[in-house]
């Protein structure tokens, strides 16, 4: 059979059937998935470059010690409730099948649990593998589905990680005017 590694000159010249089209489509989608998986691989960040970038921020544009301490403080029940309420509704579920509406239906109960989970993550210095693993999904935008330019990737991340990110966002936004 034909593989995507072959040139178009190597492609069979027999009439294309629905079966051939389906097989080609599956190959195209798998190659697209692999391309975006490699592009957005979680270990792509070069820590040395990241450190150089942070060091290049002029002292006048850096947060003061009090602001840094506030950003790095343990997440409180009130922080998490506010972050849950900040979640968008009407969106697709996360990789574990949970939608924002589940959290928004009883934010206090979820916040009590998440305070403990996020405190454990803070003590360990990282989130669990389950919390940090997202799935890249290709969304068709328009026109010919065989053209890779007509697709865009989104990463479905666990809702718990999204809530943790919202806490940080809600803490950071008021400080943006200080920079």
- CB atoms under 10 Å from CB of 22, counted, come to 10
Q: What is the pLDDT of residue 8?
A: 44
Query: Of 135, 124, 131, 133, which is closest to residue 163 (Cα–Cα)?
Result: 131
pTM over 0.95: no
Task: Determine the 3-state secondary structure of 71 from DSSP.
Answer: helix
Task: Determine the 3-state secondary structure of 9 from DSSP.
Answer: helix
Chain-centre distance for alpha carbon 175: 24
Residues 167 and 122: their CA atoms lie apart, in Å, by 13
The values of phi and psi at residue 49, to 5°, are: -65, -40
Please give the radius of gyration of the chain, using alpha carbons only, rounded to the nearest integer.
22
Task: Determine the 3-state secondary structure of 41 from DSSP.
Answer: coil
The answer to whether residues 85 and 162 touch, using CB atoms and an 8 Å cutoff, is: no
Q: What is the pLDDT of residue 11?
A: 45
Question: Tens place of pLDDT for every residue, the chain, 179 residues?
Answer: 444 444 444 444 545 455 554 556 677 777 766 766 666 555 556 677 777 777 777 777 777 888 888 888 889 999 999 999 999 888 888 888 889 999 999 999 999 999 999 999 888 888 888 888 888 888 888 888 877 788 888 888 889 989 999 998 998 888 776 54
């Amino acid at each position: 059979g034909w593989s995507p590694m072959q040139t178009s000159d190597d492609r069979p010249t027999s009439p294309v059937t629905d079966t051939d089209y389906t097989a080609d489509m599956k190959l195209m989608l798998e190659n697209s998935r692999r391309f975006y998986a490699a592009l957005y691989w979680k270990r792509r960040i070069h820590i040395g470059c990241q450190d150089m970038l942070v060091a290049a921020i002029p002292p006048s544009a850096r947060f003061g010690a009090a602001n840094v301490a506030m950003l790095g403080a343990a997440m409180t029940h009130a922080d998490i409730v506010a972050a849950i309420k900040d979640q968008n509704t009407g969106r697709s579920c996360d990789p574990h099948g949970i939608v924002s509406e589940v959290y928004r239906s009883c934010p206090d109960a979820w916040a009590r649990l998440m305070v403990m989970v996020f405190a454990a993550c803070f003590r360990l210095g990282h989130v669990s593998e389950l919390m940090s693993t997202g799935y890249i999904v290709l969304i068709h935008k328009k026109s010919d589905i065989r053209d890779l330019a007509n697709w865009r990737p989104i990463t479905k991340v666990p809702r718990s990680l999204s809530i943790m990110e919202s806490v940080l966002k809600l803490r950071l936004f008021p400080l943006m005017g200080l920079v």
